[in-house]
Structure 1
C-alpha cells in the first residue's frame, strides 16, 4: 500500500510539472508571437471574385458565424433575393461585380476572415492579438473601422450597400471613367490631367488624380472625354512616356463627379452610430490616423468619395509610425501585399486569403 501511495504522489508531482511546463511554453510562445505590433489591412473594390471566402467558410466556424450575420443583415436587399454568401461563393460574376453588390460582399468576406484569424491566434479581441492599427483601401476603410469596433458589422454592411448604390447612380448620371497611369510620378499624373482637360471637347470636363496606389501607379478619374484624351496613343500620357490603361469601372470614382453620392452617403453616416475605435484607424483622405471623434470619422468617409485615396502615403506613414510591425492583409485577395512591396520592401505583410 505504502509503495502504491508513494508512486501516486510521484506521479501527481510529475503531472503538475507537466502542466506548469505547458503553461510556461504557452506564455513563451505568446511572448514570441507578440513581440511585434500588428497592423490590419483590408482590400477595396476590385478584389472580388466568385468563390471568395470559401476556404474560411469551409474551415472556420467563427468565419461562418460572421457570414451568417451578414446574410441576415442584408436579407432581401440583393438582386434576385440572393444571400450575400450565395453571391460570394457562386456568383454569377456579372452580379457580384456590380458596385452595390461587390462592396458589401468584400466587407463581409474581410470580416469573416478576421474572425477566423482571431480564432486561429487564440485571441479574444484585436487588442489581445497585439493589433495597434488598421487601414483599408477605399472601401476597405469601412472594414478597418469595423475591425476596430467603431462600426458594427450590420451598420458597416448597410452603409457600404448604400454607398455602392449611390456611386452606381452617380455614375449613371454623368459619363465618366478611370485610367491607370503606369510609371507616373504624382506630378506627371497631375500634368496629364490638366493637359487632357484642356484638349477634351465638351463643357465641364473633369479629370483628377483619384488613387495614389504605389510609386509609379496612379489612377486618374473624371469625365469620359478627358479620360479618352488621356489614354489616347497620341495623348499627354504617351507624350510623357507613360502607359495609360482605361479601367473597367462603372464611373469616375474618387472624383468631383461623385458629389451626389457623397451627399447621400453623408446623410446616412449622420444616422449611423460611430464609436471610439479600439485601435488606431488610418484615413485614406489624409494619410493620417483618424481622431476618435465620430464627426471627424464621418467627414473622412464622406470626403473619400470625391477626393483621392492616398494609399501609398498611408502605408509609408504606418511603416514609420510602427517600426518593426507585422502587417496582416485579410481576404479577399493579395493585392495590398503587392502594393506594399512597391512602397516599402522592408515591411512584412502576412496574407490571410485562406486559413493557415
Structure 2
C-alpha cells in the first residue's frame, strides 16, 4: 500500500471521488481485484482485527451481509481498500470527495480524517443503533421516481397527516428520484399518493428507515460515541450529506455526521456543488456503480468511473491520468 504522504502525490484538478453507501454490496465483491492487489486482503484484515470478526468472509459468502451492522463496516472497508489500491497504482489525489450516507465515512477515512479502525467500529455501532431504533417491520423506505423534489415533500407531509405514522424525504438522489423513509404504513400511503400523481414507486429491501426522524434517538446515542473518537479535519475536501458543503471545523464535521442519521442525504445538491467547482470526472470508490449511474447523465460529468473490477480500475486510472494531462 502507498506510504507516500499526500504532499508527495500528484493532484487532480477536475476529478472527485465518490463513495457509495448501503445498497452497493454484493456477494464476492472485490474478489477479482484481491487476486492482483494484496492490499485488498491486508485492508480487510486490518478492519477485521479492529472489530474481532472476519469482514472478508462476510463479503465473500454473503453471511450477515444484509444486516446493517455488518453491511456498513464491510462496505467502508471495501471502499478504503479500493482507495489504497488507487494510490498504489499511481492514481491522483482528487480535488473533492463525497460519500452517499455511509459513504461519507469512507471519504473521511480516505481523506485521513478518521482511522480505518475507528471508522469500522463507529459504523458497526451506527448500524446497531439504527436497527434498534425501529423494530423490524415497523419502518420502510421506497424510491419515488418521476416526481419533483417539491412534489415528494408535499405528498410525504400529506401522508403523515392521516394517522398512519410519519414519512419523510430521505435521499435526494437525482432529479426525479427521491427516496422516502418512515413508518411502514405511512410509506405505503405515500406510495399510493405518488402513483396518483403519475409517479412510480419501488419499495427498497432495507431493514432500517434511514435519514428520517425515526433515527433521532439513535443519533443522540451515536453522538456520544463520536465524541470519543479522534477526528481530524480532512486533508482532501469532503462534502457532507446534510448541507452539501465542506465543513471547515471539527464541530461542524461532527455535527454533520450526527445530523446525517435523521436528516436527508442531499446528493443532488452535492453534485451541483461539484459542478460549480469545475469537477468533470467522478471516480466511484466502492462496490458496484450505483453513484456512477446517477451521475453519468449529468451534462457537467464527462466520465463517471467505477473501479471495483480489474478492467474498470485500469480504465479509470488511464482515463483520469489522461484527462488531467499526466499521460498523453
TM-score by length of 2: 0.88
Correspondence for 1:71? 48
Gapped regions of structure 2 (runs ≥ 5)? 1-8, 315-328
Does the CA contact (< 8 Å) of 2:245 and 2:270 recur in 1? yes
Distance across 2 between alignment mates of 1:257 and 1:35: 40
Distance across 2 between alignment mates of 1:67 and 1:222: 33
Which residue, out of 263, 268, 277, partners 1:312? 268
Secondary structure of 2:17 counterpart: strand
Of stretches 339-348 and 304-313 in structure 1, the one that deviates more from structure 2 is: 339-348
Of stretches 267-276 and 238-247 in structure 1, the one that deviates more from structure 2 is: 238-247
Distance across 2 between alignment mates of 1:344 and 1:210: 25
Does the CA contact (< 8 Å) of 1:53 and 1:331 recur in 2? no
Q: Displacement of 1:41 after TM fit?
A: 0.8
Distance across 1 between alignment mates of 2:301 and 2:59: 34
| CA deviations over 1:229-277 (Å, ceiling 9, x no partner) | 122xxx3112211112222211221111011210111111100011121
**Alignment partner of 1:212 is 2:167:** no
Does the CA contact (< 8 Å) of 1:36 and 1:326 recur in 2? no
| CA deviations over 1:63-102 (Å, ceiling 9, x no partner) | 22212211211114xxxxxx1011111223xx10100010
Closer, same or farther: CA 199–141 of 1 in aligned 2, 3 Å: same
Q: Displacement of 1:324 after TM fit?
A: 4.7
Correspondence for 2:287? 332
Of stretches 244-253 and 149-158 in structure 1, the one that deviates more from structure 2 is: 244-253
Secondary structure of 1:306 counterpart: coil
Closer, same or farther: CA 228–54 of 1 in aligned 2, 3 Å: same
Does the CA contact (< 8 Å) of 1:99 and 1:164 recur in 2? yes
Does the CA contact (< 8 Å) of 1:214 and 1:343 recur in 2? no
Secondary structure of 1:130 counterpart: coil
Does the CA contact (< 8 Å) of 2:72 and 2:127 recur in 1? yes
Closer, same or farther: CA 211–90 of 1 in aligned 2, 3 Å: same
Gapped regions of structure 1 (runs ≥ 5)? 1-30, 77-82, 124-128
Distance across 2 between alignment mates of 1:139 and 1:64: 21
The list of structure 1 runs, each at least 4 consecutive aligned residues, that deviate by more than 3 angstroms after superposition, is 33-37, 342-347
Determine which structure has more spread, i.e. the larger CA radius of gyration: 1
Q: Displacement of 1:207 after TM fit?
A: 1.2
Correspondence for 1:55? 32
Closer, same or farther: CA 287–347 of 1 in aligned 2, 3 Å: farther
Does the CA contact (< 8 Å) of 1:200 and 1:229 recur in 2? no
Which residue, out of 245, 250, 273, partners 2:202? 245
Correspondence for 1:270? 227
Q: Displacement of 1:331 after TM fit?
A: 2.0
Distance across 1 between alignment mates of 2:13 and 2:251: 32
Correspondence for 2:320? none
